[in-house]
Structure 1
Amino acid sequence: MASSLFDKVWQAHLVERIPKGPEVLYIDRHFIHEVTSPQAFADLEKRGLPVFRKQKIIATADHNVPTENQHLIIQEPLSRKQVETLSENCKKHQIELFALGHEYQGIVHVIGPELGLTLPGMTIVCGDSHTSTHGAFGAIAFGIGTSQVAMAMASQCILQSKPKQMRIRIEGKLKKGVTPKDVILYLISKMGTDGATGHFVEYSGNVFQQMSMEGRMTVCNMSIEMGAKGGMIAPDDTTFSYIRGRKFAPKGMEWERALSYWKSIYTDVNARFHKENCFDALDIEPMITYGTHPGMGIKISENIPVNTEDENYKKSLNYMGFQQGESLIGKSIDYVFIGSCTNARIEDLRLVARIVKDKKKAENLQAMIVPGSQQVARQACEEGLDHIFQAAGFEFRQAGCSACLGMNEDKIPSEAYCVSTSNRNFEGRQGPGARTLLASPMVAAITAIEGKIVDVSRYIEKMDLFN
C-alpha cells in the first residue's frame, strides 16, 4: 500500500494502538526550555518518577533571556527564576543544558537543526508551538502541553491521535524577491488560520524542492498559523548536505546507515491525502500583514480588503489603527525587529546585510537584529555582518527569542508599529498594545532604511539581491 512521508515516520514510531483511543508514539528527541518545563519537572517529583531517557532530552534557555549583557545576572525576577529553575532541574536530572553563556545556547528551534540534533525520520516534541520548524527535515515535529512534557520525560512516549494529512503543492518559478516567508504568509492568507486544522501538512512541488534548509524551516515554522498540527518536507540532497558534518550528526558508518534510511521515507507516488491544495508560484509576491492574526496578510502592492459585515474584522483594524480599503504604502513605522525562530538564521542575516550595507536606518524608528543562536552570532561576526548592521544604525543583540513575544525585556511600546520577522501578530504579542506587521527579512530591512512601508520592487531590481 502506498504511504506518505508522514505515514512512514509515524508507523516507525508507533508503540501501541489503544482501542477507541489515541496511539502511543515513541519520541526520538525532546527539546525543553525554561518556560514550559518547571511544571513538568515538579509533576515528576510529585509522583516520584525519574526521567526515563535523559540522553534524548536537550535543554536551552531562550524565551525569557535578555539579549543584552547576558554575562550579568538577569534583572527581571520572573525570568531569572525560570532560568535558574531550568539549570537546577537539568543538573539534578543530568540533562544536557545549553545555558546562557554556553557556546550552543540559542532559540530551541534554531539550535536543534544547526547542531545536527534534528534529523530526518525523527519524532520531535517540545513545549512550544513552533516545534513544527523541525519538520523541514522530514521529521514529525509538533508542540505539546505541559502535561505531555512530563509524560515524555517519564516514558519517552506520548499519547497522540493520528492527525489527518494534507498536501500543499506549489509549482512554477517564484518571482524575483519572493522569499520563503512570503510563501508561507501567502499560503496562510489564502487558507486562513483554520484552513489546515486537524491536519499534518506535507509541502511539495518544485518551489519547496528549490528552497534552502533555512527557507524550509521558515515555512514549516509557521504551519501551525493556519491551524496545522505541523508541517514537513521530504528530505533530499539539500537536507543531507545541510546535516553532514554537524556537531551531533551521525558520522562514518552511522552516517551511511542513516542516509540509506532517510532516502527511503519519501511519499510514494500513489499515496493518498485527506486534502490537497495547489498554488501557482507566480501569484506570490512580497507580503505583509495588516491585522491581528497571520491570516490577515496582503501583497504589499495590494490594499487592505473591505469587509463591512465582520465585527471581529473591524475590531482588528481598529486595534491596528488602519482603515478598510487603504494601502499600507507610506505608513510610518516605529520599530523593526529581525529575529525569532522563524527568521534569525545566518541566511536571513546575510540578506539583511546586503540590503543595509553602506546605508543608514531612518531616524524615526529603532531597529534591532537578534541572532537565533550563539553560533549564528559568531558566524555573523566572523563574516563582518555585525559591523555592517552597526554602521547602518541597527542594534545587533545576543541570542534569544527577544521581541517575538512579550515575555522578556524586548517589548514594543503600546500603539507603536513594528515590522517584525516573527510568526505571530495577535493583540499584545510583542507587548501590551503593540501593533505588529509580519514580513520577511527583506521587507523588514527595507522598511528600516525607509522608515515606512514602501513598494519593495525597486529595491529588488536596483540592488540585484537575488542573483
Structure 2
Amino acid sequence: MGKTLVEKIWDAHVVKREEGFPDILYIDTHLIHEVTSPQAFDGLRKRGLPVLRPSQTVATADHNVPTLNQHLPIKEELSRYQVDMLTRNTAEFGVELYGLGHPYQGIVHVIGPELGITQPGKTMVCGDSHTSTHGAFGAIAFGIGTSQVEQVFATQCLLQQKPKTMKIEVNGALAAGVGAKDIILYIISKISAAGGTGYFVEYAGSAIRALSMEGRMTICNMSIEMGARGGLIAPDQTTFDYMEGREFAPKGEDWDKALAYWKTLYSDEDAAFDAVLEYDAADIQPMITYGTNPGMGIGITEHIPTTTSQPESERPSYQKAIDYMGFEDGESVLGKNVDYVFIGSCTNSRIEDLREVAAFVQGRQKAENVEVWIVPGSKQVEAQAKEEGIDKIFEQAGFALREPGCSACLGMNEDKIPAGKYCVSTSNRNFEGRQGPNARTMLASPLTAAAAAVTGKIVDIRQLI
C-alpha cells in the first residue's frame, strides 16, 4: 500500500522507532520567538548544555513588539523584558536573530516562507500553535511547548506519537469575493473547533490547487483551530515558483537536487487516510464568526444559530459565548456596527493580503466610527507595500500602514481592543479576551474586514465588488 504525504515525510525523519513508544523525530528547522523561548534557554543554562545545532534555529521578535515607533524603547515593561531577553539569549547561544530593526524581522510564520527557510519535505517546529502555516509548502510543521523547545535546542529531536491522517478535499471554483480565509472558516464551522483532533490534515482538491501560496498558508495556518496537529498541502509548480530565488532557498545544483526530491512529495493514489472529508467550493460564501471559538462561524447572509439547536450538553457554553458577544439567537450580523478593524497576523498579513485590501479601498474612505489597524507581517512586506504605493492608498483612505508584529491578534502587546468593542479581525482566534480583556472579535477575510472598514458595519463584500 502507498503512503500519504505525512507518512512519507514523517518516516524519513524517524531517528528511532520502538513498539509502544513515541518516535524519536528529527527536526530540520526550529523557529523561535521571545515568548516561549526564555525558559527553554534557561533550562539549557542550568544543565550546562549548548544549542546542539544553532544553524538550524532561527529567531525573531514578533509577539511583544509595538507596531508604532519601533525605533524607540518598548513602553510595556514585560514586553520590553521579553524582547531584551531574546536578544541576550540568542547572542549567548549563537542563534541567528532577526530582531527589531533587522530587515528580516517579522512574524515568525511570515518570515520563514518569504526567506526560503520553509521548504518542502522538512520537519519544522516552533513554540507557537500556528506553526502549521509552513505545511502549505508540503512540510510537517507543528507547534510545541516550552519544554519541547528545550528538547529541540539540546537534541534537535522530539519524542512524538505518529499522528492519524485526514484528507480534506475542496473542489470546484470559488465565487467572487470568496477566498482562502473563507474556505478554512467554512471547514471549521462544519467540523467544529475539535473536529480535527488527533489528525494531521492534508488539503487537496481543485479549489486548493488554484490558491496562491499565500492562500495556502492561510488554510494551513488555521488547521490548529479545528484541533488538528497540523495541516499541509502537497508541493507543486505554484510552490516551486514561489520558492525559487529566495534568500535561503537552494541555489544552482542544490536547487535541481532539491526540486527532484520535492516532486516526489505527494500522497500515493493507493494511500489510506484515517478520515476523508469533501466540500464543494460553490457552497462557500464570505464567512464571519459570531462566537468565541473559530468553529462558531456562518456565511455572511446566514443567521446566528439558536441555543436550542445545539446539543443539550453544549447549550450553557453556547449561551455564554452569545452573551459575551452581545448577540441574540437567530440574529443576522449584517448591518452590525463595528468599532475596530484589524488586518494582519500570521494568517493574513502577507503582501497579497495587503494588495487585495488596497485594490478594494482605493478611492474609498474609512468610516468615521471605525479605527483601522493594518499591520504587515514582516519588514519585507512593509517595504514591498511602500514600493508599490500601497501605503499611500491606505493613507488616502484614512488609515495607516503600521510596522510588523503580531499586533492585535493577541493581547500581548500595546495593540489591544478595548473592552466591549467589536473588532472584525483577519487573525485566527476569537477566544474571550484574545484581543484584549472583554474585547469582541469577529474573524473574517481581508476583503470582508476591508468592507467593514469603509462602511463601518458588517456587509456582504459581494455587494460591493
Specify the TM-score bucket, using the shorter chain as the normaliser.
over 0.9
One-letter code of the match for 1:284?
A: I
The equivalent residue for 1:263 is 263
Q: Percent identity?
A: 64
1:282-301 paired onto structure 2 within 5 Å: 282-301=282-301
How many Å apart are 1:457 and its aligned residue? 1.7
One-letter code of the match for 1:220?
A: C
| More off after superposition, 17-26 vs 67-76 | 17-26
> 1:332-383 CA distances to partner (integer Å, 9 max, x unpaired)?
0000000000000000000000111111100001001000000000000000
| Runs of 4+ residues over 4 Å off in structure 1 | none
The equivalent residue for 1:194 is 194
> 1:196-233 CA distances to partner (integer Å, 9 max, x unpaired)?
10000000000111100000000000001001000000
> 1:84-104 CA distances to partner (integer Å, 9 max, x unpaired)?
110001111111000000000
One-letter code of the match for 1:323?
A: E
Structure 2 residue ranges without an equivalent (≥5): none
Q: State how far apart, in whole Å, the 2-side matches of 1:303 and 1:90 are.
A: 50
Match of 1:413 among 414, 418, 422: 418
Residue 143 in structure 1 maps to residue 143 in structure 2: yes
Q: State how far apart, in whole Å, the 1-side matches of 2:236 and 2:183 are.
A: 20
One-letter code of the match for 1:329?
A: L
How many Å apart are 1:458 and its aligned residue? 1.4
| More off after superposition, 305-314 vs 214-223 | 305-314
The equivalent residue for 2:408 is 403
The equivalent residue for 1:432 is 437
Residue 382 in structure 1 maps to residue 387 in structure 2: yes
> 1:223-272 CA distances to partner (integer Å, 9 max, x unpaired)?
01001000000000000000000000000000000000000111100100
Match of 1:423 among 425, 428, 450: 428
The equivalent residue for 2:340 is 335
The equivalent residue for 1:153 is 153
In the alignment, is the contact (CA less than 8 A) between 1:421 and 1:438 conserved in 2?
A: yes
The equivalent residue for 1:453 is 458
In the alignment, is the contact (CA less than 8 A) between 1:331 and 1:453 conserved in 2?
A: yes
One-letter code of the match for 2:38?
A: P
Residue 215 in structure 1 maps to residue 220 in structure 2: no
The equivalent residue for 2:34 is 34
The equivalent residue for 1:464 is none
Q: State how far apart, in whole Å, the 2-side matches of 1:177 and 1:420 are.
A: 17
How many Å apart are 1:21 and its aligned residue? 1.3
TM-score by length of 1: 0.98
Match of 2:446 among 437, 441, 449: 441
Q: State how far apart, in whole Å, the 1-side matches of 2:205 and 2:464 are.
A: 28
Q: State how far apart, in whole Å, the 1-side matches of 2:210 and 2:101 are.
A: 36
How many Å apart are 1:396 and its aligned residue? 1.3
In the alignment, is the contact (CA less than 8 A) between 2:391 and 2:400 conserved in 1?
A: no
In the alignment, is the contact (CA less than 8 A) between 1:18 and 1:24 conserved in 2?
A: no
In the alignment, is the contact (CA less than 8 A) between 2:286 and 2:460 conserved in 1?
A: no
Structure 1 residue ranges without an equivalent (≥5): 461-467
Q: State how far apart, in whole Å, the 2-side matches of 1:50 and 1:371 are.
A: 34
The equivalent residue for 2:326 is 321
Q: State how far apart, in whole Å, the 1-side matches of 2:177 and 2:343 are.
A: 17
In the alignment, is the contact (CA less than 8 A) between 2:178 and 2:286 conserved in 1?
A: yes
How many Å apart are 1:19 and its aligned residue? 3.4
In the alignment, is the contact (CA less than 8 A) between 2:408 and 2:435 conserved in 1?
A: yes
> 1:103-137 CA distances to partner (integer Å, 9 max, x unpaired)?
00000000000000000000000000000000000
The equivalent residue for 1:101 is 101
Residue 346 in structure 1 maps to residue 351 in structure 2: yes
Q: State how far apart, in whole Å, the 2-side matches of 1:246 and 1:286 are.
A: 33
In the alignment, is the contact (CA less than 8 A) between 2:173 and 2:282 conserved in 1?
A: yes
Q: State how far apart, in whole Å, the 2-side matches of 1:90 and 1:177 are.
A: 43
The equivalent residue for 1:43 is 43
> 1:276-303 CA distances to partner (integer Å, 9 max, x unpaired)?
0011111000000000000000000101
How many Å apart are 1:307 and its aligned residue? 2.1
The equivalent residue for 2:121 is 121
